Structure 1
Amino acid sequence: MISSSPATGILDRLGKASSAEEFFSLLGVEYDPKIVNVARLHILKRMGQYLAQEKFAGAAEPEIRTRCKAMLERAYGDFVASSPIDERVFKVLKDAVSDSKKAAAFVPLSELK
């Protein structure tokens, strides 16, 4: 379990979290274990995408915590309303869609030896 020392910032504690459940616990976000069991990596990846768009420089710790909580709630909400397949957070899932739109390679029988 992660120490919740007040001297350690929330971003540091999130960086040391070892499970999705720890993220939810640290930020005080309620969740359905059934959804987290299916989409834990997708939720955390999406939260990371949201975090990457944020600028925390100069922000006070309570504001950072509030914004992180909102991002986790938003990421979690994405997968409550949809599925990992529909959201396609990971490259392999994105590529599966783009590959299906490519024309299938056609090799005429006359070309086969």
Structure 2
Amino acid sequence: MINSSPAAPILDRLSNASSAEEFFSLLGVDYDPKIVNVARLHILKRMGQYFAKEQFSGATEPEIRARCKAMLEQAYADFVASPPIDQRVFKVLKDAVAGPGKPTAFVPLSELK
């Protein structure tokens, strides 16, 4: 991790964060460690999805910080409301539930030798 000063812009500080807990700390978002321990990658991936939809050009540093905080709060709330398997943030979880007409990768135990 690159050490960044507290005066560094929030986007720089977030890009240097090395843990989910650091994101929560930098943005001042309260969290339950039990939820973060189970869903840390899912929460950060979801925040990244929200982040990808944002345009920060012309925004002030306090506005950027507030928007980043809101994105993390929403991503965290998504996983407070339901578990990662229900949210299906990652492709492997999306693929685990085949849609109608889509073949599954199921192999019965009787077929294993």
Question: So what's the TM-score if we normalise by structure 1?
Answer: 0.85
The alignment covers a number of residue pairs equal to: 104
Q: Distance in 2 between matches of 1:91 and 1:100?
A: 17
Q: Distance in 2 between matches of 1:104 and 1:55?
A: 39
How far the C-alpha of 1:101 sits from its partner, in A, is 5.3
**Structure 2: runs of 5+ lacking an equivalent:** 106-113
Going by fraction, where is helix more abundant, 1 or 2?
A: 1
Q: Distance in 2 between matches of 1:94 and 1:32?
A: 26
How far the C-alpha of 1:12 sits from its partner, in A, is 0.9
SS at match of 2:68: helix
Cα deviation code 1:9-49 (max 9, x no counterpart): 11111111000000000000000000000000000000000
Change in CA separation of 1:99 and 1:31 when aligned onto 2, cut-off 3 Å: same
Structure 1 runs, 4 residues or longer, greater than 3 Å off: 1-4
How well do the aligned residues superpose, as a CA RMSD in angstroms?
Answer: 1.9
Larger radius of gyration: 1
Percent of matched pairs sharing the same residue: 77
Amino acid at match of 1:12: D
**Structure 1: runs of 5+ lacking an equivalent:** 106-113
